[in-house]
Structure 1
């Protein structure tokens, strides 16, 4: 039987993740409506599916997150700390980078695995049904894919020390980049996307290429794994129709 504090933590984390998704997606969908009116006008049915799969994913994400929250608060199992003096102050921003790099590595390789024809058909095809993706598509995953995404941050908090506030920043970056990379248009300015920073940091233009060609641009935050592994095919063409089929890189 699940103990009451654990059940409450599971329920709370599921609710928090669902609300975070809805709030972020709603905000950026609203931004889209103001800057690019009519962008999603013919995608109502697709958006309903994206919300359905995303809320399913939120429930899956809530299980390991709730377990971690319970273990941290009641048993001190994790490496999460609340007092900045517990670690050197310079470590706080470094921990954010370490989490993003670790998460990006996990995502790159699991994402490439999901593009093997068998697993694409079983699971990842759900995400690629969003053609073109919208601000609601960031968590639109089959449950199998949701599990691969749900476990990475909960695993990292047992390995890499992080202040609770810095963990909040990591989660905020994860949410914002997940949504903005799927908006179907480029939110960030040209000087960033096409400048030196854009050669290493992923925005919607880079991820758009993935949704066009399927077998490239697998990263989440950074482009270094795509560059190292020869799967970086640059930025997408917003005018190009989505074509291609699943394939292993």
Structure 2
């Protein structure tokens, strides 16, 4: 009994710690890009103080939702060897390192595209996704501004994948970094990436602020997270907007 109790306590502490880490990461990264916005586009967020405070409040709750499953999985990996996360770079061929990065991003993007479309069903939209679309226009603080129901759909993806797809711990860190940076930059309200990339053949398949801004303007298009593959395949791609 004592061992079980201590295990549950350790798992709970890991979940709490991870929620704190996710929250700190949110404030650090969104704060950094908000600062960059104030320098690159002075006045872009002028008059949006109440909206930004709401975004921060919802994001704080989302940090808890994201942190709990991630913390439990992290504890299970370290204490019991759960998951297929590995630390020895020689455990898998070197080509698997970049391949696993793409597999994770594409799997996450696929899950996001289809759950995002479901979130736009009228009843579900009113119950949950309307929170995110209340950001008009979105800001650097809006990337995690979700109702807890929607946050839960995003929080389970990577924790589930680590049980299914082998990944080096360093590549997993890169997945989380890409997820964080793309989530923020897609909501900044201005295009941080070079025009020649956004309008290139590569850019035709990548999502940046110019693409996601149109989703926030029209709602029924541009549902992807990283890639435009599913939008192109399902004829929901409406091209680029012109962020302010």
Give the TM-score range, shorter chain: over 0.9
The whole-number CA distance in structure 1 between the counterparts of 2:243 and 2:160 is 36
Question: Which residue number in structure 1 is paired with residue 101 of structure 2?
Answer: 96
Q: Aligned pair 1:37/2:42, yes or no?
A: yes
Question: Which residue number in structure 2 is paired with residue 52 of structure 1?
Answer: 57
The whole-number CA distance in structure 2 between the counterparts of 1:65 and 1:233 is 34
2:10 counterpart SS class: helix
1:3 counterpart SS class: helix
The whole-number CA distance in structure 2 between the counterparts of 1:205 and 1:197 is 14
1:136 counterpart SS class: coil
Question: Which residue number in structure 1 is paired with residue 81 of structure 2?
Answer: 76
Q: Aligned pair 1:121/2:126, yes or no?
A: yes
Question: Which residue number in structure 2 is paired with residue 229 of structure 1?
Answer: 234
The whole-number CA distance in structure 2 between the counterparts of 1:167 and 1:113 is 27
Q: Is the 8 A contact 2:224 2:231 kept in 1?
A: yes
Normalized against structure 2, the TM-score is what?
Answer: 0.96
Q: Is the 8 A contact 2:209 2:243 kept in 1?
A: no
Unaligned runs of 5+ in 2: none
2:189 counterpart SS class: coil
Question: Which residue number in structure 2 is paired with residue 214 of structure 1?
Answer: 219
What is the root-mean-square deviation in Å for CA atoms of aligned residues? 0.9
1:3 Cα offset (Å): 2.1
1:77 Cα offset (Å): 1.1
The whole-number CA distance in structure 1 between the counterparts of 2:32 and 2:208 is 18
2:97 counterpart SS class: helix
Higher helix content, 1 or 2 = 2
Deviation by residue 1:74-107 (Cα, 9 ceiling, x = unmatched): 1111000000011111111111000000000000
Unaligned runs of 5+ in 1: 240-249
The whole-number CA distance in structure 2 between the counterparts of 1:19 and 1:83 is 29
1:4 Cα offset (Å): 2.3
